[in-house]
Amino acid sequence: MSSSNEAQKPEVAKWDPEFTRGVVKTVGPLIKRYFRAEVRDLDAMPTAGGALLVSNHSGGMLTPDVLIFAPPFYKKFGFDRPVYTLGHYGIFMGPLGDWLRRAGVIEASRENAAQALRDGAVVLVFPGGDYDSYRSTFSENVIDFAGRTGYVRTAIETGVPIVPMVSIGGQETQLFLARGDSIARRLGLKKARMEILPLSFGFPFGLSAIFPPNLPLPAKIITRVLPPIHVAEQFGADPDVKEVDAHVRSVMQAALDELATERRFPVLG
């Protein structure tokens, strides 16, 4: 198929289950071993139909969140049920964009998410995006979506449950110092859709302002899937978006607090 025809295909049609199987088989075990990763309570996932999986996002530019979750998901549900991850348009540059789309990463938009959900897929969204993944290590166990509530509207419009998920340990893969949102505003970076200019300290480059990206330390990362939230059943036929968002974040915060009480040492877990 020509590249022009491939580009015209819907985002969800670019997922390649065999390519994804290869990524899961080769990269999955390495990620699991390096981060001593655990995914808990996967049985909480609905067994069929569309579901909007909503998670905090951790680890800066080299976040391992998806590669930690996807292998156990596919092991349990098989490759007939895709997981689509919403990603910022900026990550789809060059050949990397083609590989990401084949692995199920689709450009973040409510239209793309709605199509995947109506097709019965699981859609993984990180509402906080980069704002969340670059939160300070000293505030690592705080759920903060920066006021973004589009995920709630998507769940309401498509009639699918919201499945909260929390992860701990990703902000210990290096020392995240500050998001740098005030610096980004002063430099006018918002025009380039850059709302932050984060500062971090790690190995091997020391202090970094996004570039050069430091390698992640092998911090132990635990991910936990929480029971689904059926919006219409819990909040009525005309739910208040802000109320639903507040509930989702409170449920996630309580679960993240529980995981934090188990953690004895940074990085070691």
Each residue's pLDDT tens digit, 208-234: 998 899 999 999 999 999 999 999 999
In a domain, 268, yes or no: no
Residues 105 and 200 reside in one and the same domain: no
Q: What pLDDT, on a 0 to 100 scale, did the predictor assign at position 210? A: 87
Q: How confident is the model at residue 79 (pLDDT cuts 50, 70, 90)?
A: very high
pTM (2 decimals)? 0.93
Residues 114 and 244 reside in one and the same domain: yes
In a domain, 207, yes or no: yes
Q: How many CB atoms lie within 10 A of CB 245?
A: 21
Residues 8 and 119 reside in one and the same domain: yes
Mean pLDDT over residues 28-46, rounded?
A: 98
In a domain, 33, yes or no: yes
Q: Is 142 helix (H, G, I), strand (E, B) or coil?
A: coil
**Can you read off the two tokens belonging to residue 154?**
């998507």
Residue 209, φ and ψ in degrees, nearest 5: -110, 75
b/e for 23-61, b at 16 or more Cβ within 10 A?
Answer: bbeeebeebbeebebebbebeebeeeebbbbbbbbbbbb
Mean pLDDT over residues 137-153, rounded?
A: 97
Residues 55 and 150 reside in one and the same domain: yes
Residues 166 and 181 reside in one and the same domain: no
Residues 211 and 221 reside in one and the same domain: no
Residues 109 and 232 reside in one and the same domain: yes
Residues 111 and 191 reside in one and the same domain: no
Percent of the chain with pLDDT over 90: 85
Instruction: Judge whether residue 190 has pLDDT over 70.
Output: no
Residues 253 and 148 reside in one and the same domain: yes
**Non-local CB neighbours of 21 within 8 Å, separated by 6+ positions:** 74, 79
Residue 78, φ and ψ in degrees, nearest 5: 85, 175
Q: What pLDDT, on a 0 to 100 scale, did the predictor assign at position 251? A: 98
The secondary structure of residue 45, as a DSSP letter, is: S
Domain that holds residue 45: 3-173+217-262
Residues 111 and 155 reside in one and the same domain: yes
Residues 35 and 59 reside in one and the same domain: yes
In a domain, 240, yes or no: yes
Q: What pLDDT, on a 0 to 100 scale, did the predictor assign at position 148? A: 97
In a domain, 112, yes or no: yes
CATH number, domain at 136? 3.40.1130
Number of structural domains in the chain: 2
* Cα angle: 212, vertex 213, 218; to 5 degrees: 150
Per residue in 103-113, pLDDT (tens digit) is 999 999 999 99
Residues 168 and 200 reside in one and the same domain: no
Instruction: Judge whether residue 2 has pLDDT over 50.
Output: no
In a domain, 267, yes or no: no
Mean pLDDT over residues 238-243, rounded?
A: 98
In a domain, 163, yes or no: yes
